[in-house]
Amino acid sequence: MNKYDSELVSGLLNSDGFEMTDDIEKADVILVNTCSVREHAENRALSNISQLQSLKRRKPELILGVLGCMSRHLGDKIFEDNTYVDLVLGPDSYRKLPEFLKNRKRYKNVEYKEYETYTDIFPLRKDGVTAYVAISRGCNEECSYCIVPFTRGKERSRSIESIIDEIEKLLDEGFKEITLLGQNVNSYNYQGTDFPKLLKRVSEIENLKRIRFATSHPMNLSDGLIDVMAERENVCPYLHLPVQSGSNRILEAMKRNYTVEKYIGLVEKSMSKIKDLSLTTDIISGFPGETEDDHRATIELVKKVEFDSAFTFKYSPRDKTEAFGLKDDVSEDVKISRLAEISEIIREVSLKKNREWIGKVTDIMIEGKSRRSDSEVFGRTGGFKKVVLKQNNLSAGTIVPVIIKDATSQTLFGELVG
Ligand code: SAH
Ligand code: SF4
């Protein structure tokens, strides 16, 4: 979502006559987009911002701004403590940018505007074949560890027409694959149109080859959505379904509104209906009160479900959240060792799942040159698995059938069929 927001802000600046540069020395304006989800992300952003101070000293006319969730969370402090920061804008305040750039007076706006969807602004993307399109902003869930509902506010869904319009423009620009974005896409609702209906409508757009979406909250993963995924060929068989923990006690304390049994039931249903479904997840380790038994339950869940891959995080206490009132009683060492154990099991199950592809034929969409060698390209399967091909004459966006010859836990290696 931050990547999309950066593109949105670039779009705003672009229509105001600004151009993107990759060379920081050439920039007249530097905007740091920030995340508040974990303390580590905030610390990194603060260190990036402070590193820009010397550049600003050398080039006083440079405009330095801080955007995103951290502006909502710590914007007052950032603005007061760092006089070299000219601008602090929260996620709902980006429309203030052009006005600020005209006046160039130090400015801060971190107001929450519950109606803002930026529907009329066309984000400026880098060239490529895949693009993000936000379908909603904010979040109505109350996961007890999560700061997003505070920083981004209540959920608002974008109009269907504006989503379709943005996708059609992207197709005209040569993009082939769209990822629909929301903190919880499954609760999308625009004047009675729910997410399965929107997804079906999007999948009917002519020439749209691939559609993905993120993130799905397990609580409202509906049969209707599973049916659309199963029926529509251009909806990729890929589901990012964060489970967070394998212990019902912890899930309750996290206020996730589902049990492990319900989650497994959803996975089984989805797997049985959607051919070659890839499933990925998020896991938090060391939530307050997490015992060794709770941790073992998470390990058991990972082994049972066999996720294709997973993002794992150490619990990070965030003020403005309900869990902040709980004692952060799992020590750093224990968090680290539990996380390492979970990551190792995930590596093993990912390798097993990837090796199951050896000998099978699947379509991949080429995304570009491989990082390892100029004589190789890489693409992705419908299930979002990276496939490297010894081939250099295929351009990005081409969909080709490949046979999988080898696999690591991260990458598949294939050959063109025919
Ligand atoms: N709306 C999305 C993204 C939320 S943030 C979703 O619900 O999946 C992405 C991930 O960060 C979450 O899934 C969770 O695993 C992790 N996360 C959120 N708050 C956290 C915290 N306080 N400490 C550690 N991880 C956290
Ligand atoms: Fe945070 Fe939960 Fe909303 Fe995701 S669904 S953004 S974890 S509150």
Do the beta carbons of residue 152 and residue 118 sit within 8 Å?
no
Of 69, 64, 74, 73, the closest CA to residue 32 belongs to: 64
Per-domain residue ranges for the chain?
Answer: 2-109, 361-416
Ligand 2 centroid–CA 183 distance in Å is 6
Task: List the structure tokens of 86.
Answer: 């000219």
* CA 112/CA 110 separation, integer angstroms: 7
Q: Residues lining ligand 1, CB < 6 A?
A: 37-38, 145-146, 148, 183-184, 215, 242, 244, 282, 284, 313, 315-316, 318
Ligand nearest to the CA of 286: 1
* Nearest ligand for residue 313 CA: 1
Residue corresponding to tokens 């672009």: 14
CA distance 180 to 173: 17
CB 141 near ligand 2, within 6 Å: yes
Torsion, Cα 167 172 175 181, to 10 degrees, reads -10
CA of 145 to the centre of ligand 1 (A): 8
Q: Which of 37, 146, 217, 322 to mutate to test the pocket of ligand 2 (most atoms within 8 A of CB)?
A: 146
Residues β-bridged to residue 88: 66, 108
* Residues present in the chain in total: 418
Take atom 1 of ligand 2 and give the residue whose Cα is closest: 146
Residue 394, Cβ neighbours under 10 Å: how many?
Answer: 16
Which whole-number Å values give the CA distances from 321 to 62, 213, 245, in the listed order?
Answer: 36, 26, 18
CA 103 – ligand 1 centroid, Å: 37
- H or E element at residue 344: helix 332-355
Q: Which atom of ligand 2 is nearest to the CA of 215?
A: 4
Give the span between the Cα atoms of 83 and 55, in whole angstroms.
14
| Closest residue CA from atom 21 of ligand 1 | 316
Residue from 155, 184, 215, 254 whose mutation best tests the ligand 2 pocket (most atoms within 8 A of CB): 184
- What is the 182 CA–ligand 1 centroid distance (Å)? 13
Which pair of structure tokens corresponds to residue 352? 């097993």
- Residue 251 CB–ligand 2 contact under 6 Å: no
In 3D space, the residue among 383, 378, 377 whose CA is nearest the CA of residue 362 turns out to be: 383
For the CA of 283, the nearest atom of ligand 1: 15
* Alpha-helical segments (H) within 213-291: 223-231, 248-253, 260-273
Q: How far apart (Å, rounded) are the C-alpha atoms in residues 243 and 355?
A: 24
> Could you tell me which residues come within 8 angstroms of residue 116 by beta carbon, excluding any fewer than 6 positions away?
92, 95, 137, 156
Burial class of residue 157 (count of CB atoms within 10 Å of its CB; 0-12, 13-18, 19+): buried
User: To test ligand 1's pocket by mutation, which of 40, 187, 284, 339 has the most ligand atoms within 8 angstroms of CB?
Assistant: 284
The pTM (predicted TM-score) of the whole model is 0.97
Q: Closest ligand to 36 CA? A: 1
Closest protein CA for atom 4 of ligand 2: 183
Give the separation between CA 300 and CA 302, rounded to whole angstroms: 5
Ligand 2 in reach of 241 Cβ (< 6 A)? no
Nearest-CA residue for atom 11 of ligand 1: 37
CA–CA distance, 147 with 35 (Å, rounded to integer): 10
146 lines ligand 2 (CB under 6 A): yes
Residuewise pLDDT in 10s, the chain (418 residues): 999 999 999 999 999 999 999 999 999 999 999 999 999 999 999 999 999 999 999 999 999 999 999 999 999 999 999 999 999 999 999 999 988 988 899 999 999 999 999 999 999 998 889 999 999 999 999 999 999 999 999 999 999 999 999 999 999 999 999 999 999 999 999 999 999 999 999 999 999 999 999 999 999 899 999 999 999 999 999 999 999 999 999 999 999 999 999 999 999 999 999 999 999 999 999 999 999 999 999 999 999 999 999 999 999 999 999 999 999 999 999 999 999 999 999 999 999 999 999 999 999 999 999 888 889 999 999 999 999 999 888 999 999 999 999 999 999 999 999 7
Nearest protein CA to atom 5 of ligand 1, as residue:
37
DSSP category for residue 288: T
CA distance 418 to 130: 26
| Rounded distance from Cα 34 to ligand 1 centre (Å) | 15
- Classify domain 361-416 by CATH number: 2.40.50.140
- The verdict on the CB of residue 149 being under 6 Å from ligand 2 is yes
A 10 A CB-CB count for 360 gives 13
CATH of range 2-109; options 3.55.10.10, 3.30.499.10, 3.40.640.10, 3.40.50.12160: 3.40.50.12160
Q: Taking a C-beta distance cutoff of 8 angstroms, is the pair 78, 32 a contact?
A: no
Contact yes or no for 63/87 (Cβ under 8 A)? yes
Cα 59 to ligand 2 centre (Å): 40
Distance of CA 311 from the midpoint of ligand 1 (Å): 10
